[in-house]
Structures are given as structure tokens and as C-alpha cells.
Amino acid sequence: EAGVTQFPSHSVIEKGQTVTLRCDPISGHDNLYWYRRVMGKEIKFLLHFVKESKQDESGMPNNRFLAERTGGTYSTLKVQPAELEDSGVYFCASSPPGQGGFYEQYFGPGTRLTVT
Amino acid sequence: EDQVTQSPEALRLQEGESSSLNCSYTVSGLRGLFWYRQDPGKGPEFLFTLYSAGEEKEKERLKATLTKKESFLHITAPKPEDSATYLCAVQARWSARQLTFGSGTQLTVLP
């Protein structure tokens, strides 16, 4: 079974440019999450999709970040315009469907974003 | 606000030298505590989930335990391939499913 995949693995852009990160979750996983680690700090939650709906976007830092999950499959995270403080590693994770209870989240390898 | 504190930040062990990593947490109602392993350049790899105080889980040389305030990851007779950063995360009852992570313990096992 394929794991969570992310593309690109590394992106270097200039301040003010736009970048789009992509995540493909494990097949059959309705839940998809975005996290990021900046400046060597802890991994921080950004948002959570259930299928194509945003369940929780309380961690999104500001309106320069836009996440979508059309069709409930893969997801994209767009940063526009990028700022220096957006540099870091962006992780995507997924978990199986189900109400009540909870499941472990399986993480992708991450996208390292460098804004210069 | 939920908080997770891991100690030590870094730990160097000789092969075969057993030790424990600590994860202290403050959460408004714990739904679950997760341990992950992260190798350089890779994403966190799931190890264990603990749900309630007193619970223990084992996998090869690793054993995770949980109390009402902290969790321990015991490493018995470690090998160099156990070298990695070990992350602890909690999920609160109030949250949808978001995880709150600690900063991790970087473990190095010397041959």
C-alpha cells in the first residue's frame, strides 16, 4: 500500500511569489491534515479536511494560505504571496474514515519550502 | 492551551545501553497520546498510541507507558539503527483531530 506522498520535495522561491504544495493521501483515507515545522520549532497543525470539507482550519496562520481538496482526494496548499517566515517543512498526513474514536495519522515525507 | 514537553532534547547512548525518553503533557482532556519516530529528511513514522493511564505498548526494543501527566518511551538494548528523533504528540478531547507535538528527543546510539 502506497503511503502519503507530497510534491515537490523541495521548493525555493522568492518573497512575493506563489507556491503550491500537493499532497496525495493514502487511498481510502477521508481525513487529510496539513502541518508545518518552521525555524526548528515543533510541528504545528494547520488544518484538517474530512473528504472535501474543511473540518478545522484553526491553525492556518493568515489569509495568504489557501488549502483545497477538490473531490476529496488529493489536496493542495497554496501560499500567496510567500513571506520569509513561511520557510519551513510542510507535512501532510492522513487517517482512515470513522466517527467517534480516532486514528493514528500517517505522515508524508514533507515539502521543504525556502523563501528567499 | 495544550502543551507537550519532551526531555532530554538530545541523548547519546552506547549500543546496548538502555534508557528512557520523557514526554510531559498538559491537555484539557486527553483523547490519546502518540509516539512517532522521525529520521532526517523524512516524515514522522507512527509507533504507538496510548489512550489511558496505566496503558503500555511494546514494539521490538521500544516500550511506551502512560500516566496522567507524562509518557515514557523506554529503549532496551538500543542499536545504532534506533538513532532518530522521537516525537510525542497529544490529541485533546475538544479538538477535531489535530495533534499537538513536542519538540522531540534526538537519540544517537553509538556502535
Is residue A100's pLDDT more than 60? no
Of A44, A104, A109, the CB nearest to B34: A104
Query: pLDDT band at A1, cuts 50/70/90?
Result: low
Query: Tens of pLDDT along B9-46?
Result: 999 999 999 999 999 999 988 989 999 999 999 999 99
Write down the mean pLDDT value for chain B.
95
B26 to chain A, closest Cα gap in Å: 16
Cβ neighbours of residue A62 closer than 8 Å, sequence gap 6 or more: none
Residue of B52, B98, B101 to mutate, interface with A, max A Cβ within 10 Å:
B98
Most confident of A47-51, B71-75, B89-93: B71-75
Residue B10 main-chain phi, psi, to 5 deg: -140, 150
Q: What percent of chain B has pLDDT above 70?
A: 99
Name the amino acid, one letter, at A81: P
The helix/strand/coil state of B76 is coil
Q: Does B72 touch chain A (CB under 8 A)?
A: no
CA torsion, ordered A99, A75, A105, B46, to nearest 10 deg? 160
C-alpha cell at A64: 495568504
Of A4, A102, A108, the CB nearest to B97: A102
Query: Tens of pLDDT along A34-89?
Result: 999 998 799 999 999 999 999 999 999 999 999 999 888 999 999 999 999 999 99
Q: What percent of chain A has pLDDT above 70?
A: 95
Of B43, B49, B91, the CB nearest to A91: B43
Question: What pLDDT, on the 0 to 100 scale, is given for residue A99?
Answer: 54
What's the distance, Cα to Cα, between the start and end of chain A in Å? 37
Is residue A110's pLDDT more than 60? yes
Q: Does B101 touch chain A (CB under 8 A)?
A: yes
Is residue A102's pLDDT more than 70? no
Which residues of chain B lie closer than 8 angstroms to A42, CB-CB? 4, 101-104
Question: What pLDDT, on the 0 to 100 scale, is given for residue B11?
Answer: 98
Cα separation, A17 vs A62, in Å, equals: 16
Q: Does A69 touch chain B (CB under 8 A)?
A: no
Residue of A37, A38, A42 to mutate, interface with B, max B Cβ within 10 Å:
A42
Q: Mind giving me the DSSP string for B15-49?
A: TT--EEEEEEEE-SSEEEEEEEEE-TTS--EEEEE
Question: What pLDDT, on the 0 to 100 scale, is given for residue A97?
Answer: 81
Q: Does A38 touch chain B (CB under 8 A)?
A: no
